[in-house]
Amino acid sequence: MLARAAAVVLAGLLAGCGPDEPFRLGFIGGLSDRNSDVGLSGHRAVVLAVEQINRDGGLGGRRVELIARDDAQNPATAVAAARELAESGVDAVIGPFMSSMAAVVAPILDEAGIVLVSPTISSLDFFGHDDHLIRINRTTRDNARDYARVLLDRGQRRVAVALDVRNRAFTESWLAEFRAALAALGGEVVTAVEYVSAADTDFEAVVRAMLEQPADGLFFVSGALDVARLAQRARTLAPTLPIGAAEWAGTEQLVELGGDVVEGLLIIQNFDRADGSQRYLEFREAYFNRFQHDPGYSSVMAHDAATVLFEAVRRRTADQSLKDAVIRDGPYQGLQQVIEFDANGDTQRKVYFTQVRNGTFELIE
């Protein structure tokens, strides 16, 4: 009897010495369909961050297990993916990367009490809310105001805009803020042409509609693939007009697909590609060695999202929720910037204006 009791105690002790349950990290982003470059780059960065943290012993001995789902940039698919992640018992989720996907994903994960850290969404629809959504990016208001100032400084008082309403939550928010900011400075949006991004979209017709009113410049609130195609038509129909694009398009795909037609295009970058800091250079080298691609803005911001989560888990006390730890236990050192959240999980981010020159994003201010 004593031997049996001892065996039971020993078995319990051995079980207690076993490995801790993994930290289950969900990921949701557009890994297929149009404009998947943003989601794919973000996913690669999260994969890299997970591999690095596990090589270093995990989170207090807990390995990080990554569970990725593709939202296919489709609301129904995104809803199904979010529910799958919630039902699988993930501890937190990184993503999504499009505001239109966040509109359907965030309520599901908020109801489940799961922290959702989005690297890129910026629509004002998600600003200032006490929920489980944490944003790494600044808002459309911040970016649109900066664009209005720079375009006016460049003599573009009358601006024609095209916007992809497939990502309506972002593009309409961006346009509303840009219109207001431009008007406050004495400029105006002379026309705003809505279209739905698709393989058969008539981009020539979009640009022709943009040119129905005299304009000093053309501006595209679209993903990289569409901006390359819009720029091609603009160079044919209005070769002397300057062109610009919202930050959504600022990926490597823009210059790869656009080539000569996007030369001179003005666009914000959410990170400094010329950063010579050791932290960023080590990341860029590791990213390239792992994936044979240079990192883009969603890569940097997704890696920052992972850094925030991992550090919050390390600093979290026994009586804290993960949401509370993320918000209160900062600041966090990202790849290039210090990240600190307000009470609603919102933050600021430094941006860099660039112009495409010789196939690269060249800093202009």
Note the pTM of the prediction, 2 decimals. 0.91
Report pLDDT for 33.
Answer: 83
**How large a percentage of the chain has pLDDT more than 90?**
93
11-54: per-residue pLDDT in tens?
Answer: 444 444 445 899 999 999 999 988 899 999 999 999 999 999 99
CB-based contacts of 116: which residues, under 8 Å, 6+ apart?
A: 92, 93, 94, 95, 105, 106, 109, 110, 132, 133, 134
Using alpha carbons only, what angle is made at residue 352 by residues 351 and 353, rounded to the nearest 5 degrees? Answer: 130
What is the Cα–Cα distance from 124 to 232, expressed in whole angstroms?
Answer: 31
pLDDT classification of 9: cutoffs 50, 70, 90: very low
Report pLDDT for 34.
Answer: 82
Report pLDDT for 12.
Answer: 41
Report pLDDT for 20.
Answer: 82
Do 269 and 250 touch, CB atoms closer than 8 A?
A: yes
What is the Cα–Cα distance from 37 to 161, expressed in whole angstroms?
Answer: 23
What's the mean pLDDT in 123-141?
97
pLDDT classification of 7: cutoffs 50, 70, 90: very low
Report pLDDT for 53.
Answer: 97
Structural domains of the chain, with CATH:
23-137+276-339 (3.40.50.2300), 140-269 (3.40.50.2300)
- Does residue 96 have a cis bond before it (omega within 30 degrees)? yes
Report pLDDT for 86.
Answer: 97
What's the mean pLDDT in 60-68?
96
What's the mean pLDDT in 129-153?
97
Asked if pLDDT for residue 328 goes beyond 50, the answer is: yes
pLDDT classification of 5: cutoffs 50, 70, 90: very low
What is the Cα–Cα distance from 68 to 220, expressed in whole angstroms?
Answer: 31
What's the mean pLDDT in 319-342?
97
Question: Higher-confidence residue: 17 or 304?
Answer: 304
The 3-state secondary structure of the chain reads CHHHHHHHHHHHHHHHCCCCCCEEEEEEECCCCCCCHHHHHHHHHHHHHHHHHHHCCCECCECEEEEEEECCCCHHHHHHHHHHHHHCCCCEEECCCCHHHHHHHHHHHHHCCCEEEECCCCCHHHCCCCCCEEECCCCHHHHHHHHHHHHHHCCCCEEEEEEEHHHHHHHHHHHHHHHHHHHHCCCEEEEEEEECCCCCCCHHHHHHHHCCCCCCEEEEECCHHHHHHHHHHHHHHCCCCCEEECHHHCCHHHHHHHHHHHCCCEEEECCCCCCCCHHHHHHHHHHHHHHCCCCCHHHHHHHHHHHHHHHHHHHCCCCCCHHHHHHHCCCEECCCCEECCCCCCCCCCCCEEEEEECCEEEECC
Q: Tokens standing for 140?
A: 């459309």
- Does residue 331 have a cis bond before it (omega within 30 degrees)? yes
What is the Cα–Cα distance from 241 to 353, expressed in whole angstroms?
Answer: 19
What's the mean pLDDT in 139-164?
97
**Average pLDDT value for the chain:** 94
193-222: per-residue pLDDT in tens?
Answer: 999 999 999 999 999 999 999 999 999 999
What is the Cα–Cα distance from 134 to 329, expressed in whole angstroms?
Answer: 13
Report pLDDT for 365.
Answer: 65
